[in-house]
A and B are shown apart, each in its own frame.
Chain A
Amino acid sequence: MTSQTAHAEPAEAAIADTTAIAVDVDRVSKIFRGETEVRALDDVSVGIRKNEFFTLLGPSGCGKTTLLRLIAGFEPPTMGAIRLGTRDISRLPPNQRPINTVFQNYALFPHMSVAQNIAFGLEMLGKPKAEVQRTVDEMLRLVRMEELKNRRTSEISGGQQQRVALARALAPHPEVLLLDEPLSALDLKLRKDMQIELKRLQHETGITFIFVTHDQEEALTMSDRVAVMSAGKILQVGRPRDIYERPAERFVANFIGESNFLDATLSGGTVELAAGGRFDVRVPEGVRDGAVSVLVRPEHASVRSGEAAEGETGATVENVVYSGEATVVHLRLATGEAMKIRLANAPQGGEAPPQTGGAAAIRIAPGAVTVLKD
């Protein structure tokens, strides 16, 4: 049997260093009282570090926009505090917070030109004319919009509007930039370009970005850290790799990437799969010995035709789906559990994938088994 220690990563070590915290969300709740009471945020705490590309990821209605609006100051928190560094800003109006927002619908001023839009924040801060001019030009260059500076905002494309919105929010050089699904209105190609563009801007300006999306791929590719939200709570915060490979809960695992959930028994740092196989695992806090649910990512296991040998798990092949760069093999384990395994495709003539209906042997990579909290 394979027995491998899962290496624990010192992911959250730096969080103790409070001087590096840009935005400190401290036990914040937000309750909307209407005909019914909506608890949009439920005791949320998170520290967002300086110069970080931080992403809030979660399904629709989980409270992402609400958290952003609270940080921007458009709504007061019902409970808890929001600090900028160590300064409590919970009661400051939005125009007194050094935080700017890129709105989902861009919210460009239709009665102003591109340059006037970008200048707005600087003018409101009372910056001298020459400085406003200089910064606007700099911003236009940064987002590559120099030629269109005198256009009306209704006379430019969606992607260009997006960049004007970015430039307008970056121009006053805020400490924190909030972005609420800024790419969701763009088509796929433009979106990929803007993802790279955003990363570049964040790198060049050194501003802390808090980015909202419900696109998991976007979150994984762009972020330094991701917070996965559900129903007004933050379930897990971590680097994309931690979130993907070591999700704390079934919800997180399910929301990000494809998952196999298998029944297992935990005893003293080792799990035994119901379908067979023993693995050393990292035991999350609060999980006790006994029946547990474990996660295996489809690409973290391999499968071949034939009977299971030592260290492998037997299964029957139910379906084989070819999808270009990979082949997904759907399997049924002896316990009746379903499992899918993703095999990278070799050039034709290489080893053939298992055939539907045949017996197969699964080999799960060491460290690929993650114990879930629930």
Chain B
Amino acid sequence: MAETTTPTPTETAAPALTAPRREPRGYSVRSLPGFAVIAIFTFFALYAPILILVTYSFNAGTSLAIWEGFSLRWYYQAAANEAVQDAAIRSLYLAFCAATIATVAATMAALATTRTRRFPGKTMIYALINQPLMIPEIVTAVALLIVFAAIKVWTGHTSMIYLIAAHTAFCVPFAYLPIRARLETMDNTLETAAQDLYASRWLTFRRVTLPLMWPGIVAGLMLAFVISLDDVVITEFVKSAGQETIPTYMLGQLRRVVTPEVNAISTVILMAGVILVALFFRLTSRRR
């Protein structure tokens, strides 16, 4: 028994000889088996279809599967298409209105949840602001449809106001997050210092708080803008007749003939999104 359990001197010596060859390293997920494979696969699954979509937007032919040479044909066609123009203008108008209103509301909410004394229900309010992120979009969409349909029937009023209200509502938590993050990393004593140096509350806000939280506000605005721009579900449910946005127009197109025009529109939206998100990361990471 003792002989089988006690390792022989050579057995114990062997790992001692090989082990020190590898430098002792801290814990790193990279050393987990399969980690790299899964990471590469995920990136591939995410970006390969987008790559194909972008490629075929430059297809000279009408097919989404057969490459027939490079052309900007579909971009011209989309740009000349009055329905696309109309939807694009509506989308931008909607995103602009909703993002702006949402950002103002989110800024006030962020100030109220970080720059006030603790008050009862503060955590509750924080949860309520973020809750829309957890509610399935379809639920919100159905709920809004029911309420707005009733109002439309009752008032006979069918302007963009419903879409703006709906988009504002789901944009608020997205705008709120970067603004709150910014405020939380901001040193409270700066505002104390401003008051110590004879600034009134309003001047403290205007000269110190606002300039310092500005990158957060711009980031929140851009995030809200992108979120509003590509919303389909809620828009589809809430819009009145003729109120197509770019995403709902595309959805409509896909139900009929599918041409690379959709790809071209998608690519343009994608580029806009990429630029805004890149700016967003720049704003949120720069300076502390």
Contacts and interface: CB of A to CB of B under 8 A. Distances in A.
Interface string A88-108: 000001111001110101010
Given A111-B211, A124-B203, A100 B197 contact: yes
Given A109-B208, A110-B287, A111-B212, A124 B199 contact: yes
Contacts of B287: 110
A125 B192 CA distance: 16
Nearest to B191: A107
B227 to A, nearest CB: 28
A94 B199 CA distance: 9
A72 B187 contact: no
A95 B190 CA distance: 14
Contact of B187 (A101, A105, A111): A105
A74 interface: yes
Nearest to B197: A121
A103 B198 contact: no
A95 B192 contact: no
Interface in B175-196: 187, 189-190, 192-196
A121 B287 CA distance: 25
Contacts of B196: 72, 74, 94-95, 99-101, 169
Contacts of B189: 103, 105, 107
Nearest to B188: A107
A121 B198 CA distance: 6
A103 B212 contact: no
A332 to B, nearest CB: 51
Contact of A93 (B190, B195, B288): B195
Contacts of A105: 187, 189
A95 B193 contact: no
Contact of A107 (B193, B200, B211): B193
A112 to B, nearest CB: 9
Given A105-B189, A120-B194, A95 B212 contact: no
Contacts of A101: 193, 196
Contact of A95 (B195, B208, B211): B195
Nearest to A154: B287
A168 interface: yes
A95 B199 contact: yes
Interface residues of A, number: 22
A169 B203 CA distance: 18
A125 B190 contact: no
Contacts of A120: 194, 197, 199, 207
Contacts of B211: 111
A107 B199 contact: no
Contacts of B194: 109, 120, 124
Nearest to B204: A95
Q: Is the interface of A mostly helix, strand, loop or mixed?
A: mixed
Contacts of B208: 109
Secondary structure class of chain B's binding surface, majority of residues: helix
A101 B189 CA distance: 11
B198 A172 contact: yes
Contact of A124 (B187, B197, B212): B197
Contacts of A124: 194, 197-200, 203
Best-buried of B196, B203, B211 by chain A (most CB within 10 Å): B196
Nearest to A120: B197
A121 B203 CA distance: 11
A168 B211 CA distance: 19
Contacts of A121: 197-198
Given A103-B193, A109-B208, A110-B287, A95 B200 contact: yes
B212 A110 contact: yes
A169 to B, nearest CB: 8
A95 B198 contact: yes
Contacts of A93: 195
Nearest to A178: B196
A74 B198 contact: no
A295 to B, nearest CB: 40
Given A110-B287, A111-B212, A124-B203, A94 B187 contact: no
A120 B207 CA distance: 9
B144 to A, nearest CB: 40
Given A100-B196, A120-B194, A172-B197, A107 B187 contact: yes
Contacts of A103: 189, 192-193
B187 A125 contact: no
B195 A168 contact: no
Nearest to B288: A110
Interface in A259-301: none
Interface in B261-288: 287-288
A211 B212 CA distance: 30
A120 to B, nearest CB: 5
Contacts of A111: 211-212
A120 B211 CA distance: 14
A93 B199 CA distance: 10
Nearest to B193: A107
B182 to A, nearest CB: 13
Contacts of A72: 196
A109 to B, nearest CB: 6
Contacts of B192: 74, 94, 103, 107
A72 B196 CA distance: 7
Given A120-B197, A169-B196, 12 more contacts: A74-B195, A95-B198, A95-B200, A103-B192, A107-B192, A109-B190, A110-B288, A120-B194, A121-B198, A124-B199, A125-B198, A169-B197
27 contacts: A74-B192, A74-B195, A74-B196, A95-B199, A100-B196, A103-B193, A107-B187, A107-B189, A107-B190, A107-B192, A107-B193, A109-B190, A109-B193, A109-B194, A109-B208, A110-B287, A111-B211, A120-B194, A120-B197, A120-B199, A120-B207, A121-B197, A124-B198, A124-B199, A124-B200, A124-B203, A169-B196
Leading 7 A-B pairs by shortest Cβ distance = A121-B197, A124-B198, A107-B193, A107-B189, A124-B199, A94-B195, A95-B198
